[in-house]
Amino acid sequence: MKKKLNLLLFGLYTVFIIISLFLSFQPGKEIGKNFISFALTMLKVLPAAFIIIGLFEVWIKKETIEKHLGNKSSIKAYFWVILLASTTVGGMYVAFPVAAVLYRKGARLAVIFAYLTASAVFRIPMAIFEASFLGLKFTLIRFAVALPLIVISSEILGYIIKKSADKNKLFADESI
């Protein structure tokens, strides 16, 4: 049923774009242009990113992830995931599949949350762009403020979800 609804919605979207082209409805034409631009960007980034994610899943041993990012890991786990997140290309489109791989390989939920948050905050290209427009001092202050907030909020969120999972037997199925 959900698949049919998604297909129907995509069909309506496509019809709207086509009608907008014929009737010169400018907002519809802009929506169509944005969709094409977005799709082309995804076609450029995602195939390479998914190949790298696949290699990451095959080459990095589960024991390595458990040791450095798992339940018995130290505060250094946050250093490693922030370093990984800062080099991630493709934004959240790539970060979520990487987070799924980290989860399957035994990383703590708090560390995964830190990775996802850092993927949005600490990307190197974004930092360079930001520093060139707003100044290096601003970028360093933003990093200094964001870093402890990421670690603290990730720990809190990980704790809450783990308690809820233990109580409700969530995440018992490792189907992710």
Q: Give CA–CA dist 13/174, Å, rounded.
A: 35
Query: Is 65 among the domain residues?
Result: yes
What pLDDT is stored for residue 125 in this prediction? 83
Query: Is 143 among the domain residues?
Result: yes
Co-location of 95 and 133 in the same domain = yes
- Averages of pLDDT over each 10 residues, the chain, 176 residues: 90 92 92 92 84 89 92 90 87 87 93 94 88 93 94 94 78 53
Query: Is 174 among the domain residues?
Result: no
Phi and psi, residue 152, nearest 5°: -65, -50
Co-location of 152 and 109 in the same domain = yes
Query: Is 55 among the domain residues?
Result: no
Query: Is 173 among the domain residues?
Result: no
Structure tokens at 146: 């964001």
Co-location of 148 and 106 in the same domain = yes
Co-location of 159 and 80 in the same domain = yes
63-92: b (≥16 Cβ within 10 Å) or e = eebbebbbeebeeebbebbbebbbebebee
Co-location of 40 and 90 in the same domain = no
Q: Give CA–CA dist 130/122, Å, rounded.
A: 11
Co-location of 20 and 104 in the same domain = no
User: Distance from first CA to last CA of the chain, Å, rounded?
Assistant: 22
Q: Give CA–CA dist 28/13, Å, rounded.
A: 10
CB 56 within 8 A of CB 98: yes
What pLDDT is stored for residue 170 in this prediction? 60
Structure tokens at 148: 């402890």
25: burial class by Cβ within 10 Å (0-12, 13-18, 19+)? middle
Query: Is 147 among the domain residues?
Result: yes
Geometric angle at alpha carbon 93, from 171 and 13, rounded to 5°: 105
Co-location of 37 and 78 in the same domain = no
Structure tokens at 33: 């242009």
Residue 32: which domain range?
1-45
Co-location of 114 and 139 in the same domain = yes
Co-location of 9 and 81 in the same domain = no
Co-location of 41 and 71 in the same domain = no
Query: Is 50 among the domain residues?
Result: no
Q: Give CA–CA dist 47/44, Å, rounded.
A: 7
Q: Give CA–CA dist 69/78, Å, rounded.
A: 8
Co-location of 30 and 89 in the same domain = no
Instruction: Give the total number of structural domains in the chain.
Output: 2
What pLDDT is stored for residue 168 in this prediction? 75
Structure tokens at 41: 């960007």
Co-location of 72 and 155 in the same domain = yes
